[in-house]
Amino acid sequence: MLFKHKINFKSKTQSDKLNYKQGKKTSVKTSIKTSVQSSEKHYRKIIKKVAVTATALIMCLSSTSAYAEPLNTFYSNNYYDADRGINFNKLYNFSDKDPITRASGTAYTSLSANTNSTSITTAFSPSSVSAKSAIVIEASTGKVIWSKNADERLPMASTTKIMTALVALENCDIDKIVEVSPQAVGIEGSSIYLYAGEKLSMENLLYALLLESANDAAAAIAIEVGGSIENFAEMMNAKAEELGLENTHFKNPHGLDDPEHYTSASDLAKIAACALKNSKFKEIVSTYKKTIPLNETEGVRLLINHNKMLKNYDGAIGMKTGFTKKSGRCLVSAAERDNVQIIAVTLDAPNDWQDHKSMLDYGFSLFECRALCGQDELRITHPVVGGTDSYTVLTNKQPVSVIVPKNSAEIESTIELFRFSYAPVSQNQVLGKIVYTLDGEIVGESELYAIYGVNKAQYKTSFWEKIISIFK
């Protein structure tokens, strides 16, 4: 996408001049606008033809007595062509009906693709989601795209192990060799059949935990990291509190049923988003097959990821499955396309695989990644007072890209820095930053560095300055 950065300085009022002299900090607003001059006339001709055709169609249909439903009205609204980076007006029709079908007694919420206009609906049907509780979020911002009973406390089975892995990764070296405690052997449910005294690296135990959903691996990790299963559960609860989770409580590291072991779809999505930021966690859950040692013998254990989304969904990162008779089928999935990450969570979902495909598709239909500036792309001349040069040039070292709803308003940028700096200025010295906002909310920022330094100028003392200095 092509952006045109336009910097508008305020006119110099008396106050501005005073601020300049004092070196006070000011903000210079810029607007990132797409260039439309070359295509605007062409599209307006097309739109005019569409409007005429649509009007004729309305008149024709309205004269037909068999058409019982009231006709929708055509409205003009802003439309954004992501492929060509062009903003123009598009005519389309919509009804006053809520595009989200609301089931009786079920709480649905949904995010529109364009908060300033009615969005074009997608094929996603909330009523088709089989889960008792579900949520879809955009991973980087945590923005809720759609939810259903997302704050209801429910058992979560082995999706518990996302938090188990997160706490272990944050509190233990993955290369550490763990001697399996006898207390971790023979745990009911899924298992890799660990031996008491067997030695495995923490990394291999994490692979067993997240691929094979091994309950004995969960217990071995908990005892190694927390000293006991009970202490490790408290570490999990402390992490939940740190993340601000209000409907989550852990009693064990594996997810076997317990009245005091529960979460909500909303909280589980937050845990998943946090875990996904850990590169090792992301590497493990996106692995389909892995072999690990078998009790220091020549044999190996073959671990297979239970998450079918890895094979059946384009861009799937994977995450975690879970099931007990009490919890039903539970699933946390994540996928990434064009730098957009979407997370879906379902609890007690008989048709969870299909639920997740449609939920993820819906998420990707609403969000896009916008590149705002590349590395070292910006060049801003900045005045320097009292130096060997009268200015330096600022740039950004980090690229900036943001995830935003498709067809959202234009992103504005504000350059924050002093009107001038005093010498000396060092190379790579941070002198300001550029802040990007969407509808008044900060969506990204990058510090501005001096490309080269400016030394302080050395002035010769005049004859009269020497005389005056004698009497001071």
Domain shared by 183 and 194, yes or no: yes
Residue 222, H or E segment: helix 215-226
- 12 occurs within a structural domain: yes
Here the CATH number for the domain that contains residue 442 is 2.60.410.10
Tokens of 105: 């007694």
| Residue 158 DSSP symbol | G
Question: How many angstroms separate the CA atoms of 137 and 144, rounded?
Answer: 4
Does residue 309 share a domain with residue 188?
yes
Residues with pLDDT less than 50, the chain: 1-109, 112-122
Residues 365 and 383 reside in one and the same domain = no
90 and 220 fall within a common domain: no
Q: Are residues 75 and 165 in the same domain?
A: no
Distance between the two ends of the chain, CA-based, in angstroms?
63
The pair phi, psi for residue 282, each rounded to 5°, is: -60, -40
> CA–CA separation, 315 vs 309, rounded Å?
9
What is the percentage of the chain residues whose pLDDT exceeds 90? 69
Cis preceding linkage at 350, omega within 30: no
Q: Which two tokens stand for residue 144?
A: 């809720």
Residue 189 resides in a domain: yes
Q: Is 462 a catalytic residue?
A: no
Cα dist. 249→45, 159, 223, 319, 454 in Å?
Answer: 60, 13, 19, 20, 57
Handedness of CA 48, 53, 59, 65 (dihedral sign): negative
Closest CA to 77 of 37, 117, 46: 117
Structure tokens at 321: 């499955």
Is 309 inside a domain boundary?
yes
Whether 169 and 83 map to the same domain: the answer is no
Residues 39 and 79 sit within 8 Å (Cβ to Cβ)? no
Beta bridge partners of 109: 147
Domain region containing 321: 133-370
What is the domain count for the chain?
A: 3
How many C-beta atoms surround the C-beta of residue 465 within 10 A? 10
All residues at 6 or more sequence positions from 448 whose CB lies less than 8 Å from its CB, including other chains: 378, 380, 394, 395, 396, 415, 417, 430, 431, 432, 433, 434
**What are 256's two structure tokens?**
């076997």
Per-residue pLDDT of 423-458, as tens digits, reads 999 999 999 999 999 999 999 999 999 999 999 998
**For position 463, what pLDDT does the model report?**
74
Residue 391 lies in a domain: yes
Q: Which member of 161, 251, 320, 357 is catalytic?
A: 161
Residue 39: predicted pLDDT:
42
How deeply is 333 buried, as exposed, middle or buried, from its count of CB atoms within 10 A (0-12, 13-18, 19+)?
buried
Whole-angstrom distance, CA of residue 268 vs CA of residue 190? 21
Predicted confidence at residue 41, as pLDDT, reads: 42
Residue 109 lies in a domain: no
Sheet strands (E) in 121-236: 133-138, 144-148, 177-179, 199-201
SS3 at position 400: strand
Domain boundary among 46, 71, 94: 94
Same domain, 325 and 402: no
Residue 268 covered by a domain: yes
Asked whether residue 345 falls in the same domain as residue 411, the answer is no
Catalytic residue (one of 119, 133, 147, 213): 213
Pick from 377, 304, 370, 299: nearest CA to 338 = 370
Q: Are residues 242 and 313 in the same domain?
A: yes
Q: What pLDDT score does 428 carry?
A: 96
DSSP 255: -
Is there a contact between 323 and 329 (Cβ–Cβ < 8 Å)? yes
**So what's the pLDDT on residue 123?**
64
Residue found under tokens 């809720």 = 144
Closest by CA to 417, choosing from 11, 9, 32, 18, is 9
Element (H, E) at 341: strand 340-347
Q: Are 188 and 220 members of one domain?
A: yes
439 vs 445: CA distance, rounded Å: 15
* C-alpha–C-alpha distance, residues 76 and 206, integer Å: 54
pTM of the model: 0.70
15 half-sphere exposure, CB direction, 13 A CA radius: 4
Catalytic residue at 213?
yes
pLDDT of residue 386: 93
The CB density around residue 324, as the number of other CB atoms within 10 Å, is 16
Confidence (pLDDT) at 276: 97
Residues 392 and 435 occupy one common structural domain: yes
CATH number of the domain to which 164 belongs: 3.40.710.10
Instruction: Kindly give the pairing relationship between strand 3-7 and strand 25-34.
Output: antiparallel
Asked whether residue 188 is assigned to any structural domain, the reply reads: yes
For residues 155 and 326, give the distance between their C-alpha atoms in angstroms, rounded to a whole number: 7
DSSP 8-state class, residue 424 = P
User: Is-contact 463 393, C-beta < 8 A?
Assistant: no
- Residue 169 CA to residue 391 CA, distance in Å, equals 48
Pick the catalytic residue from 110, 119, 158, 191: 158
Clarify whether residues 353 and 303 are in a common domain: yes
Q: What is the DSSP-derived secondary structure letter of residue 15? A: H
Q: Is residue 461 part of a domain?
A: no
